[in-house]
């Protein structure tokens, strides 16, 4: 399948350009790591940005708008919530509380994002003027939600964690029909995700199929997957964050700590710097002539030899530095006659030979 004709190869989220040739957008997914505590939400936000994240992302859940009391737990982790519905209610913040989180992120120089899980959540977040939308894997087939997001004309970042190609085609088409930029995340819905299921190969498949910026939404709880994805050209990278692996919550096993996030960001920028400066091997060797002479060897007289002596292999040895005749010429030197006497450890030159 050829790239989608109406999708942009790059776009902007706020002041940040996203796409090939631009730095990878590193997003710290806080999700429900705050466990319903506004203070913990702010603490996670500050820790993520201090570690180098370009954006922080939450999830905006409004229990009555997205769930029923019959929704089962993915993992029964909570002793205080009788149902998944009760858990979502405990995760809710008010609009003013969300606004405070947005303002905090902006004050620290980062983008504020949050995934909506209902049409009402979209309305709330539109009021906060979020610069882009991240659509969780479970909402990819929610075409009414995608159509609404597309009408806002803000980039829509789709997670493919539960999708077939047909479902992903339909989701992309729904958003693209509004003329809205699309970004796509390879994602595996496993917490944590083992290396065998990361699907790093899908990054190239997404790029070829749709021609839009692609990235990895990673649940591996390592920095390795993200570094590999950036090396393979990922324009976006999203990782879950927890202040400690001793914290409470269903996503902790699939999260990075602030220290790990900092190391991930450092690695991403290191890789980008390397990729931005391709090396010409010939030019590089020419620039390193001093080091080449320091580390390479020359053809050297094993002992003092008289003028007129015809050289044999036993007369010669290879030693540093590399300022004399190179080892590659050893066969051509054997059998030549000395123009003058040479001392032990003399580095032979062409001027020494008849």
**In order of start, what are the domains of the chain with their CATH numbers?**
11-275 (3.20.20.70), 282-352 (3.90.1210.10)
- pLDDT surpasses 70 at 313: yes
Q: What is the DSSP string of 172-238?
A: HHHHHTTT--EEEEEE---SSPPGGG--THHHHHHHHHH-S-EEEEE-SSSSHHHHHHHHTT-SEEE
> Across all residues in the chain, what is the average pLDDT?
95
pLDDT at 152 over 80: yes
pLDDT digits (tens, 9 = 90+) for 82-134: 788 999 999 999 999 999 999 999 999 999 999 999 999 999 999 999 999 99
Q: What is the pTM of this model?
A: 0.88
Please report the DSSP string for 19-39 in residue order: STTS--EEEEEEETTTTT-HH
Q: What pLDDT, on a 0 to 100 scale, did the predictor assign at position 3?
A: 64
pLDDT tens-place string over residues 327-351: 999 999 999 999 999 999 999 999 9
The alpha carbon of residue 307 and the mean position of all alpha carbons in its chain are separated, in whole angstroms, by 66
User: Percent of the chain having pLDDT more than 90?
Assistant: 89
Task: Decide: helix, strand or coil at residue 132.
Answer: coil
């Amino acid at each position: 399948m050829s790239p989608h004709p109406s999708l942009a190869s790059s776009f902007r989220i706020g002041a940040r350009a996203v796409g090939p040739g631009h730095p990878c957008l590193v997003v710290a997914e806080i999700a429900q790591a705050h466990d319903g505590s506004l203070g913990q939400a702010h603490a996670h936000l500050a820790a993520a940005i201090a570690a180098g994240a370009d954006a922080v992302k939450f999830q905006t859940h409004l229990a009555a708008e997205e769930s029923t009391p019959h929704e089962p737990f993915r993992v029964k982790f909570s002793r205080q919530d009788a149902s998944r519905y009760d858990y979502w209610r405990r995760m809710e913040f008010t609009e003013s509380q969300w606004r405070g989180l947005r303002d905090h992120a902006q004050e620290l120089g980062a983008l504020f994002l949050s995934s909506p899980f209902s049409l009402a959540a979209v309305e709330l977040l539109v009021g906060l003027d979020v610069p882009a939308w991240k659509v969780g894997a479970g909402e990819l087939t929610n075409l009414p939600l995608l159509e609404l997001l597309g009408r806002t004309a803000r980039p829509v970042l789709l997670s493919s964690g539960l999708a077939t190609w047909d479902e992903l085609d339909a989701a992309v088409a729904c958003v693209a029909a509004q003329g809205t930029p699309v970004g796509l995340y390879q994602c595996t819905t496993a917490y944590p995700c083992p290396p065998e299921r990361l699907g790093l190969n899908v990054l190239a498949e997404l790029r070829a199929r749709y021609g839009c910026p692609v990235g990895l939404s990673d649940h591996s709880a390592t920095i390795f997957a993200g570094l590999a994805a950036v090396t393979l050209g990922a324009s976006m990278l999203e990782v879950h964050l927890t202040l400690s692996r001793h914290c409470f919550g269903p996503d902790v096993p699939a999260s990075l700590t602030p220290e790990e996030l900092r190391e991930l960001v450092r690695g991403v920028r290191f890789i980008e710097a390397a990729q931005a400066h391709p090396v010409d091997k010939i030019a590089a060797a020419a620039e390193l002539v001093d080091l080449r002479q320091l580390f390479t060897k020359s053809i050297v007289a094993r002992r003092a030899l008289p003028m007129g002596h015809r050289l044999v292999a036993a007369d010669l040895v290879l030693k540093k530095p590399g300022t004399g005749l190179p080892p590659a010429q050893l066969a051509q030197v054997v059998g030549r006659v000395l123009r003058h006497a040479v001392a032990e450890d003399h580095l032979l030159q062409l001027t020494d030979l008849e």
